[in-house]
Chain A
Amino acid sequence: MTTRKLFCKMPNQQKITRPIAAAARAALFAVALTVPLASVFARFSPRVFADTAPDWLRAAAHQTLPEYPKDAVAIVLLDDLQTTVKDNGEIETRSRRAYKLLRPEARDKYGYAGVNFDNETKLSFFKAWTITADGKEMELKEKDAVEFSLSSFEVFSDERGKGIKFSAADPGSIVGYEYVQRHRPFVFEDDWEFQHAIPTRLARFSLQLPPGWEFTEYWANFPKQQPQSSANNFYVWQVENIPAVEIETDMPPFLTVASRMDIKYFPRDPALRAKTTGSWNDIGVWYANLTSASRVPSPALQHKVAELTVGVSDPLKKMQVLAAYVQQQIRYVAIEIGIGGLQPHPAADVFKHQYGDCKDKATLLSAMLKQIGVDSYYVMIDTHRGIVNPDFPSLRGNHMIMAIRLPQDVPINRLYAIVEDPQLGRLLFFDPTDPYVRLGYLPSELQQNYGLVITPDSGKLILLPLLPPPTNRLLRTATLTLSSTGNLGGEVNELRWGAPAGDSRAQFLNSSPSDRPKVFEKFLGTFLNNFTLTNASVGNLDNYDENFTLHYQFVVEGYAKTAGNLLIVRPRVVGDKGSTILAGKARKYPIEFEGTTLQSDIFDITLPAGYVVDELPQSVEAKCDYATYKSNVEVKDNVLHYKRTYEITGVVVPTEKLPEVRDFFHQVAAAEKSSAVLRRANP
């Protein structure tokens, strides 16, 4: 069972995944607990010894298995999910899973049975068993389980986990567990995720629907399978020998590449139909109803809007003021209990407490905008492209932003995150949670990503725009002087806007003011050795509407290497455009760039007297469908002029295009390392 809730995003948090996979559960065991679990498990182990494993586990253990890759740490022998839907809307899920542990590393990842639950979900059965390689059987029960909170970024969430550490989880052992959950979901949708990070021998999903109920299913990354069905509305899907999802660095989200079946149910009872999300519009209507009372303003809120906008006549300026207020003054705090994972707190409460999560911030800003006559809508989205799938309407997503319906008189020349929708008009997408991405822009991960725009009476899925490269700009200029001993000194100025500004601001703001020189030092240390930062400052750090500027000065001893009468100097003094993402063996999955960008470096290096240029790096012009790179070095009047531009124009690179991109980055890496050779004129 998958819980549909919790769409919230911390500022600058790259990824929030819910711990629904076995690997994630294991990770939780490893990191989320402050008390060593091993000792807890050891302490609270049971005293019952008359154990027998269930027949389903024995059957799974005794089957003949095909050959598996040598590096597989374990095999899913059985992944059996049995869902029974009752006419009153209650759903019972029985899950049985069996693993064969092959390697010692399996203890960490598959040595635990785990199940999630919350205040809305009752766990009525939970047991785990081990069948050792020599046939001994051991059983553990729910009372042997350890319960723990699954809160991560939230101040509080009612989502919890229970885990049982299998006895004798050694290579050769078969381990298995079974649990039964009962819940009344907020919406009738579920999924069956049958592909894992290890091979799966057999996976089965059975569904018992009440008479008159219907379902639709969607197969992701797998051909559609027909169920076996019987007359009493009972269906069984079964798949066999599913290979493991190969884990690659910077791969797309697991959910977007793993095979699964999404399913939704349609009740007979019209009263329950509201919980059905057959279309994006249905979801929109459902959510609109859930939030219909959320945006009622309090007098204090109205007063604040008036105070913030007093003397401001320009509608865009008013919107900017309110947007900045919610982004920067409302502290990110997530408290999610039950429906609170989906339903925002009332705008008045968010304003009163001055904190909230993503949907709370969207709610507050929407209520504030309404006070100046601007309509806006919730936009459900996920911070990973591909999770929201246009082919299967679903509540899947982890974040809430908003679409602002722009008044016609608002000029749009500096607003880039705009979609002209034939029905909804000119929509400006905006993320009130991300404090560093101002109105008009959109965080990179939300661009070219689907969001469900929820109006008071509808829902419409819209593809958010990919912002053009110049909106994410980094211009770095340097004036440097090289001495005859190879020492280099000078100053660098950076001008940043869009994503490079947001990323850099976050780095500096997260560091305490006294630690900010370390941010410069860490950056310089990536490219330089034996350097001293002599001066550093940032401009417009808190003024997000202006370009972010960096100014730093440094000296580097022995920057240029001496070799006899030669002086070898790398013109690309700082900055790194290369990527090792495609190094190593061929990849199976696509890659994604963070976003589009246009970056330029212009460095002038005054050369030491008495030296002449012996060799200069060749000009480089590398290009692929997604990026371009140009660099050029020339010497005039004893000054070495280095100039390069780097531009990312597309963000999702399909697998078939990876060789082209790999070649591109190989050229970039070689160009970045290339050096000029100076020769002493009169040795």
Chain B
Amino acid sequence: MNRTQRFVCATAFAFVLLCAAAIAPRPSSAGDEWLPIPPADLALKDNPASPGAHAMILYRSSDMDSKESSVREYVRVKIFTQEGTKEADVELPFNRQQVNVLDIRGRTIHPDGSIVNFEGKPFEKTIVKASGFQYLAKTFTLPDVHPGSIIEYKFREQSDPHYYVNESWTITGHLYTRDAHFVIRPDTGSYAAALFYRQNGLPTGTVPIKQPNGTYVMDIHNIAGLEEEEYMPPERALQAHVDFYYVNASDPQNETSEKFWNRKGKAWSEEVDRFINKKGALESDLSRTVSADDAPETKLRKIYARVQKIRNLSMEDDKSEKEQKQEQIKPNNNVEDVLKHNYANARELNYTFVGLARTAGFSASEVFVAPRHVNFFLPEMMDTSQISADIVWVHAGSQDYYLDPAASTFPFGIVPWYETNTRGIRCSKSGGEIVTVPPSPPTQATEIRTAELEIDSDGQAMGKLQVDYTGHLAASRREQSREEDESGRRKSIGDEIQAWLPAGSSFEVTALANWDNKDLPLHVEGTAKIPNLGTTAGRRMLVPASPFQSRQTAAFHPEKRLYAVYFNLPYEEIDDVKLKVPAEFKIESVPPAKQAKPGVVSYEISAAQQGNVVEVKRLLVLDGLAFPVTSYPALRNFFNSVKTYDDAQIVLQNAESAKNN
């Protein structure tokens, strides 16, 4: 399960170090010195490296002094368009308990070099404030800003030395960055031996350079701004960033990534072992759960079902202390507590599963993985926060299983999509080992749509439409609507199905089955009404082969693409639609069968006439996740073809006129 919990990791370690160091912040005076502005920048009309932007960062610097717990930021932005003037509205959020934003200065420089200083006082906006917690923002707006202006501002983030300073550089933002200069002056006191870094997305040849005094400096140029595209990889994976971390003097220095993960995996394994070290409780529970003569997989399934019966607190709203007290919810110190209390958080559930599986004689381990919707796992980064989700590995019989019993709506054998086809660390006594969770096949995410629609002489189609969601598609819907009642679920699913139909259509759910039986497909039945599905052309009526709107096509309209195309999971769409034609019409022609199989995506459609009914069968299979940007034209062509074939026309002819032909 994906959770916000993080392990004991480098950042937490840094936090501890900083707490221990307790160095008082030194107030620093804010100078009004500004860097000179080259005349060429004053005259700049557009970004020559990437024309056509509203604005660009000409220069940015970030100078972090870890001893002072302060960061001095300097930002210079060139405005190209009226829309770009919004960059002059600046909001600097901060957590008041840990940091303050001070010494804000700003100014606007016109193309003729004239300068208007920001002379106002920044406002302090309450983003969230609660007892002992203040998340605020300093906001201000720069004066006299027009297209052509350069705006620049600087400020100091002063942290309380008792708190951890986020020692990282995120270079990619929403604007193009022409030049940036980063400095980090480490705090290598008695507790920390050295500062190290990990990076993602830096241009070749650009790395932080360590100076003789331990300071790291990096100059970086021409970093494109992050843009939004449909089906794009996780934002964090596209951002250029550098994260720093300290290594304790007592920990291994210059450790390889393999050794790092091995060490971490071993420590986490010990944590699991400690939690499940209640043999008696596990044996007792297992004896009530499985039979000795059950086949290995049967045993596993029974254990899986047993664990999923335990109340999953992670699937509920966070509870206040009062609510916990009211419900008498106590912490679980070990697996015996879990089995006794019959409630647990997600991680405890997975630990419990490991305990029961091992007690049943299987090899079982906790596996920490990178949830793909957040980031990808880069082992060389040696950052434990990458692998924030956890599942369970079991070897039973001759088979390896990756399971997530804590994913309450997911049946045995299926883990949430973001935990498939990803890498992580399998923990064991001998240490952590990098493993890859296998991809999910398209057959584990199928949408089967069957419809029997009758078209009237006005072209309106009406009739029964059934949808069966299997595997991931069923589980994710069960999860999304788990807080809804029957009426709410019907509305959610009904709205989703209605959106597949042409504009103006309606879909009324009449039955929703197997909601609570997650081993069966989620079955939806209802009545669809599609006005103008058939359109008249004189004595003819034309009906599209598929009444469903293609869901992927819109994402492939743009001819240009910046990023790789990234789907969540492989899936199948299987349609069987019967269209009964109006009595006044006869079927003149049906579209020819078509298929397209350019690779891991495939499509086929066929239409057959049976009396006054046309039966259209359609299959769309996506059996891949990530497609490099070079594949975009082919993928675009494929989905355009799908839409074209879906829209092929069934031609009906008025029976009277047909008789006269």
Residues of chain A touching chain B, judged by Cβ–Cβ distance below 8 Å, are 33-35, 37-49, 70-71, 103-105, 107, 136, 138, 140, 143-149, 151, 155-156, 160, 165, 167-168, 171, 328-329, 331, 333, 335, 352-355, 435, 509-510, 512-518, 521-522, 524-525, 529-530, 532-533, 557-558, 561, 563-564, 566, 568, 578, 580, 583-584, 614-618, 666, 669-670, 673-677
Residue of B nearest to A524 (CB): B557
* B168 touches A (CB below 8 Å): no
A sample of 7 more A-B contacts (CB under 8 A), given A510-B83, A616-B538, A617-B537, is A45-B323, A104-B484, A513-B81, A525-B553, A583-B504, A669-B504, A669-B531
Task: Name 15 A/B residue pairs within 8 A (Cβ), A-sorted.
Answer: A33-B128, A41-B318, A41-B320, A105-B485, A147-B126, A147-B129, A148-B128, A148-B129, A155-B89, A155-B123, A512-B54, A512-B81, A561-B647, A583-B503, A616-B537
Cβ contact within 8 Å between B483 and A107: yes
Cβ contact within 8 Å between B128 and A521: no
B585, chain A: closest CB distance, angstroms = 14
Cα separation A675 to B54 with both chains bound (whole Å): 42
Chain B residues whose C-beta falls within 8 Å of the C-beta of A353 in the assembled complex: 143-144
Chain A residues whose C-beta falls within 8 Å of the C-beta of B505 in the assembled complex: 583
Cα separation A143 to B130 with both chains bound (whole Å): 8
What's the dominant secondary structure at chain A's contact region? mixed
Chain B residues whose C-beta falls within 8 Å of the C-beta of A558 in the assembled complex: 644
Cβ contact within 8 Å between B589 and A566: yes
A138, A149, A171 — which one has the most chain B CB atoms within 10 A of its CB?
A: A149
Q: A558-B644, A563-B649 are in contact. Are A331 and B145 (CB under 8 A)?
A: yes
Cβ contact within 8 Å between A509 and B83: yes
Cα separation A328 to B484 with both chains bound (whole Å): 48
B93, chain A: closest CB distance, angstroms = 7
Cβ contact within 8 Å between B326 and A167: yes
Residue of B nearest to A558 (CB): B644
Cβ contact within 8 Å between B123 and A568: no
Chain A residues whose C-beta falls within 8 Å of the C-beta of B459 in the assembled complex: 670
Cα separation A143 to B483 with both chains bound (whole Å): 28
Stretch at the interface among B132-140, B415-423, B432-440: B132-140
Chain A residues whose C-beta falls within 8 Å of the C-beta of B554 in the assembled complex: 525
A563 touches which of B125, B130, B132, B651 (Cβ 8 Å):
B651
* B397 touches A (CB below 8 Å): no
Q: A71-B487, A354-B143, A666-B531 are in contact. Are A138 and B326 (CB under 8 A)?
A: yes
- Our count of residue pairs bridging A and B at CB distance below 8 angstroms stands at 231
* B25 touches A (CB below 8 Å): no
* B131 touches A (CB below 8 Å): yes
A589, chain B: closest CB distance, angstroms = 19
Cα separation A352 to B88 with both chains bound (whole Å): 15
Cβ contact within 8 Å between A107 and B317: yes
Residue of B nearest to A32 (CB): B127
Chain B residues whose C-beta falls within 8 Å of the C-beta of A578 in the assembled complex: 503-504
Cα separation A167 to B317 with both chains bound (whole Å): 11
Chain A residues whose C-beta falls within 8 Å of the C-beta of B589 in the assembled complex: 563-564, 566
B 499-512 binary contact with A (CB < 8 Å = 1; else 0): 00001111000000
B82 touches which of A168, A509, A525, A583 (Cβ 8 Å):
A509
B438, chain A: closest CB distance, angstroms = 32
Chain A residues whose C-beta falls within 8 Å of the C-beta of B558 in the assembled complex: 517-518, 521
Cβ contact within 8 Å between A45 and B321: yes
Cβ contact within 8 Å between A529 and B647: yes
Chain B residues whose C-beta falls within 8 Å of the C-beta of A335 in the assembled complex: 123, 141
Chain A residues whose C-beta falls within 8 Å of the C-beta of B536 in the assembled complex: 617, 670, 674
* B641 touches A (CB below 8 Å): yes
Stretch at the interface among B45-53, B202-210, B350-358: B45-53
Cβ contact within 8 Å between B641 and A530: yes
A40 touches which of B133, B322, B532, B559 (Cβ 8 Å):
B133
B 475-506 binary contact with A (CB < 8 Å = 1; else 0): 00000000111011000000000000001111
Cβ contact within 8 Å between B93 and A34: yes
* B595 touches A (CB below 8 Å): no
Cα separation A512 to B227 with both chains bound (whole Å): 11
* B26 touches A (CB below 8 Å): no
Residues of chain B touching chain A, judged by Cβ–Cβ distance below 8 Å, are 4, 46, 50-54, 81-83, 85, 88-89, 93, 123, 125-133, 135, 139-141, 143-146, 317-323, 325-326, 458-459, 483-485, 487-488, 503-506, 531-532, 535-540, 542, 553-554, 557-560, 588-589, 591, 640-641, 643-644, 647-649, 651
Chain B residues whose C-beta falls within 8 Å of the C-beta of A580 in the assembled complex: 503-504
A615 touches which of B143, B322, B532, B537 (Cβ 8 Å):
B537
Cβ contact within 8 Å between B130 and A147: yes
Q: A521-B558, A530-B644 are in contact. Are A149 and B127 (CB under 8 A)?
A: yes
Cα separation A39 to B537 with both chains bound (whole Å): 60
Cα separation A138 to B323 with both chains bound (whole Å): 9
Chain A residues whose C-beta falls within 8 Å of the C-beta of B539 in the assembled complex: 615
Cα separation A39 to B317 with both chains bound (whole Å): 9
B51 touches which of A49, A148, A514 (Cβ 8 Å):
A514
Cα separation A12 to B406 with both chains bound (whole Å): 46
Cα separation A146 to B82 with both chains bound (whole Å): 37
Cα separation A48 to B53 with both chains bound (whole Å): 56
Residue of A nearest to B320 (CB): A45
Nearest 6 CB-CB pairings of A with B: A514-B52, A45-B320, A615-B538, A513-B52, A525-B557, A42-B318
Cβ contact within 8 Å between A529 and B127: no
Chain B residues whose C-beta falls within 8 Å of the C-beta of A517 in the assembled complex: 558-560
Chain A residues whose C-beta falls within 8 Å of the C-beta of B123 in the assembled complex: 155-156, 335
A106, chain B: closest CB distance, angstroms = 10
Cβ contact within 8 Å between A674 and B559: no
Cα separation A39 to B314 with both chains bound (whole Å): 12
Cβ contact within 8 Å between B318 and A38: yes
A15, chain B: closest CB distance, angstroms = 20
Cβ contact within 8 Å between B135 and A34: yes
Cβ contact within 8 Å between A521 and B559: yes
Cβ contact within 8 Å between B535 and A670: yes
Cα separation A677 to B541 with both chains bound (whole Å): 10
A41, A136, A331 — which one has the most chain B CB atoms within 10 A of its CB?
A: A331
Residue of A nearest to B538 (CB): A615
Cα separation A514 to B319 with both chains bound (whole Å): 48
Residue of A nearest to B555 (CB): A525
Q: A44-B132, A615-B537 are in contact. Are A328 and B322 (CB under 8 A)?
A: no
B126 touches which of A160, A333, A355, A583 (Cβ 8 Å):
A160
Cα separation A49 to B323 with both chains bound (whole Å): 10
Chain B residues whose C-beta falls within 8 Å of the C-beta of A104 in the assembled complex: 483-485, 488
Cα separation A306 to B132 with both chains bound (whole Å): 56
Q: A105-B484, A529-B643, A615-B540 are in contact. Are A674 and B535 (CB under 8 A)?
A: yes
A102, chain B: closest CB distance, angstroms = 9
Cβ contact within 8 Å between A512 and B322: no
Cα separation A497 to B132 with both chains bound (whole Å): 55
Cα separation A557 to B54 with both chains bound (whole Å): 34
Residue of A nearest to B533 (CB): A673
Cα separation A557 to B651 with both chains bound (whole Å): 20
Chain A residues whose C-beta falls within 8 Å of the C-beta of B131 in the assembled complex: 44, 143-144
A105, chain B: closest CB distance, angstroms = 5
Chain B residues whose C-beta falls within 8 Å of the C-beta of A42 in the assembled complex: 318-321
A443, chain B: closest CB distance, angstroms = 18
Chain A residues whose C-beta falls within 8 Å of the C-beta of B538 in the assembled complex: 614-618, 677
B140, B320, B323, B483 — which one has the most chain A CB atoms within 10 A of its CB?
A: B320
Cα separation A353 to B144 with both chains bound (whole Å): 5
Chain A residues whose C-beta falls within 8 Å of the C-beta of B50 in the assembled complex: 514
Cβ contact within 8 Å between B557 and A521: yes
Cα separation A35 to B321 with both chains bound (whole Å): 19
Cβ contact within 8 Å between A328 and B485: no
Cβ contact within 8 Å between A146 and B322: no
Chain B residues whose C-beta falls within 8 Å of the C-beta of A568 in the assembled complex: 537, 542, 649, 651
Chain A residues whose C-beta falls within 8 Å of the C-beta of B127 in the assembled complex: 33-35, 148-149
